[in-house]
Chains A and B, each alone.
Chain A
Amino acid sequence: MSTGNKIAIKDFNFYYGSLQALQMINLDIRANEIFALLGPARSGKTTFLKSLNRLTDLVYGASHTGTILLDGEDIYDPKISLTQLRRRVGIVFDLPIPLPMSIYENVAYGPKLSNKTQKKYLDEIIEKALRSAFLWDEVKDRLHTSALRLSGGQQQRLCISRILALDPEVLLLDEPCSGLDPISTASIEETLSRLKKEYTIVLVPHNIQQASRVADRVGFLLDGKLVEEGPAFEIFTRPKNKKTEDYISGKFG
C-alpha cells in the first residue's frame, strides 16, 4: 500500500440548503494513519465524515463545491459507483445502528450484497470481523439471535465488525466510543491502533484524551472551518492557533 495521501480534500464547501456547514476545507489524509478531527458540537465534524463517503447525498437540498479525491479519483464524479465508494470508505456512527436482524445477518449483510461470497468464506469473514472488534467471545454462542438484544457497547462493536467485514480501505468513525464503558473503549482504541496497519482511519474522538491516545495527526474544526491541523504531538503541546489552544485546554467546547 502506498504511503502517500489516501484522501485529498481541496477547497471543499458544503451546504444544507442555504446553511453552510463546511467552509473551504483543505486537508490531506495519509494512508495508514489515524487522523482525529476535534471540534465542539455542531462544528461540522459529522458532515465532514459523511461527505467522505457521500452519505450526505441522502439529505434533501444538500450541495457542495470543491473536490475530494480518494486515491486520486474524484468521489463526486458522476461516473463513480456509489455503492463501491461506500464499501471502500466505511463509516461507524456515534449511536450504534444494528439492522433489525440477527447478529450473523448483520455482519453478513454487506458481504452478501456483493453476491460473490460463498457460505464457507462468509463464516470465516464473520468470525474474523467479530474478533477484530472484540465481540466474538461474547456472541459466538448466539450468532443467530437478534442483534437488537445486545447491549449498547456490544451493538457498537457489532457495527464496527460489520464495516470490517466489507474489508474497506478507509474507516470513518464518529465518536464510536460515546456509549461505551472504559474497558470496551480501551479495547476499541487498541483495535484502531492495530487496524491502521491495513486501513486509513478518520476518527471523531469522543473526547480530547482519546485523540491524544490514538491519533497520529489531529485537525481542529470550528464553525465549519478547519482552524489548524498537524501531527498530534504538536497540536497538543504547541498549538499555533489561540482557538485551538483554548479548546484543547478546556476553555470552551
Chain B
Amino acid sequence: MEIKEIKERFIEKILLLIAFSSITILALITFFIFGEGLPLIWKIGPKAFLLGERWVPSQGEFGILPMIVGSFWVTFGSLLLGIPLGLACAIFLCEWTPPWAGMILRSAIQVLAGIPSVVYGFWGLVVLVPLIRNFLGGPGLSILSGSLILSIMILPTIISISEDSLKALPPNYKAGAFALGATHWQTIWRVLIPAARSGIVASIILGMGRALGETMAMIMILGNAVKMPSSILDSARTLTTNIGIEMGYASGDHRQALFAAGVILFLIIMLLNSLAIVLSRRRAG
C-alpha cells in the first residue's frame, strides 16, 4: 500500500472517531439526565409528576404542571410577537432594503444576538417591569414581561435564518413570478415565502427552542412564583428557571426531581426538533 493511501485511511478513521465522540458526549449527557431523573418519576408516578399542581420539595411534593404551563405561556407569547416581527424584518431586509441600510440593520441585529441574557433580564427588570406594574397592574414580574423580553431575544434567530433561506432561493423565482405579472407582494406571499418555508419553519422552531431554554433573563423578570398562573399579568416559573433557582441547594429526592424536570424539558425539545425536521422536509407542490 502506498504511503498516500495509508494517510487517506488514517485521516478517514480520525474523522470518524471525532464525529462519534461528539455523539458519544450527547449520549452520555442524555444517559446521565435520564438516569438521575427517571427513578423519581417512577417513584411518585408520571401522572403525579406531570399533572401535580403543587411543588413543595420540603414535603416531598413534586408536581411540575405550573412550570410546564409557565414555560408554555412564556414561549407562546414570545412567538406570538416574535414571528410576525421577525418574518416582517427578514422580508424587508431581503426585498426592500437598499444595500447600505441593510448593512446597518444586519449589524444591529447581530448586536442584538450578542447581548448577554442577564443584560436583557436587567433591562426588563428596571424598565419593562415597572411600566407593566404601573400601567397594567399586577406585580409587573409577569408572563407578559417575560414574553416581551423573550420575543426580542429570539428575533435574531428568526430574522437571520429566515433571511438566509429567502436569500438562498434562486433569483429566478422572483423574475419568473414578476414575468407572469405578479406584483411584488404577490411574489413574496405566494412564491418566495412558500418556497422558503422549510427555512422559515426551522427558524421558528430554533427560536422556540431558544425561548424554552432561556433561563437567566427569566429568573430575573418572571417573579418565580410556584403557582398556576391565571393571567398574563401573573408571575410564573418555567421548567428552566426552576432548575436554575433550586439546583444550587437541592439534595436527595429534590435534586432528582430537578433532573426529572430536565428530562421533560429534554423530551419537549426533542419533540420540537423532530417536528422541525418533518415540517421542513415536506416540499411544496
Name the CB-closest residue of B to A147.
Answer: B285
Check: B186 CB closer than 8 A to any chain A CB: yes
Nearest CB of B to A129, in Å: 12
Binds A, one of B51-59, B170-178, B206-214: B170-178
Interface residues of A in 31-64 (CB under 8 A from B): 53, 55, 58, 60
Which of B174, B186, B285 has the most chain A CB atoms closer than 10 A to its own CB?
B285
Check: B252 CB closer than 8 A to any chain A CB: no
Binds B, one of A5-13, A71-79, A87-95, A229-237: A87-95
The 0/1 profile, CB within 8 Å of A marked 1, for residues 85-115 of chain B is 0000000000000110000000000000000
Q: Is the CB of B179 within 8 A of A91?
A: yes
* A101 interface neighbour in B181, B186, B285, Cβ under 8 Å: B285
Residues of A within 8 A of B175 (CB): 55, 58, 93, 97
Residues of A within 8 A of B99 (CB): 60
Bound CA span A105–B284, Å: 11
Bound CA span A81–B22, Å: 58
When A101-B285, A148-B283 are in contact, do A86 and B180 touch as well, CB less than 8 Å?
Answer: yes
The 0/1 profile, CB within 8 Å of B marked 1, for residues 155-176 of chain A is 0000100110010000000000
Name the CB-closest residue of B to A113.
Answer: B182
Name the CB-closest residue of A to B197.
Answer: A100
Interface residues of B in 175-226 (CB under 8 A from A): 175-183, 186, 190-191, 194-195
* B173 interface neighbour in A83, A100, A163, Cβ under 8 Å: A100
For this complex, 5 residue pairs linking A to B, each with C-beta atoms less than 8 Å apart, are A93-B175, A99-B177, A100-B194, A105-B285, A113-B180
Check: A84 CB closer than 8 A to any chain B CB: yes
Q: Is the CB of B181 within 8 A of A110?
A: yes
Nearest CB of A to B100, in Å: 11
Name the CB-closest residue of A to B180.
Answer: A110
Check: A178 CB closer than 8 A to any chain B CB: no
Residues of B within 8 A of A166 (CB): 180-181
Interface residues of A in 207-246 (CB under 8 A from B): none
Q: Is the CB of B180 within 8 A of A162?
A: yes
* B181 interface neighbour in A58, A87, A97, A99, Cβ under 8 Å: A87
Residues of B within 8 A of A113 (CB): 180-182, 186
Bound CA span A102–B284, Å: 8
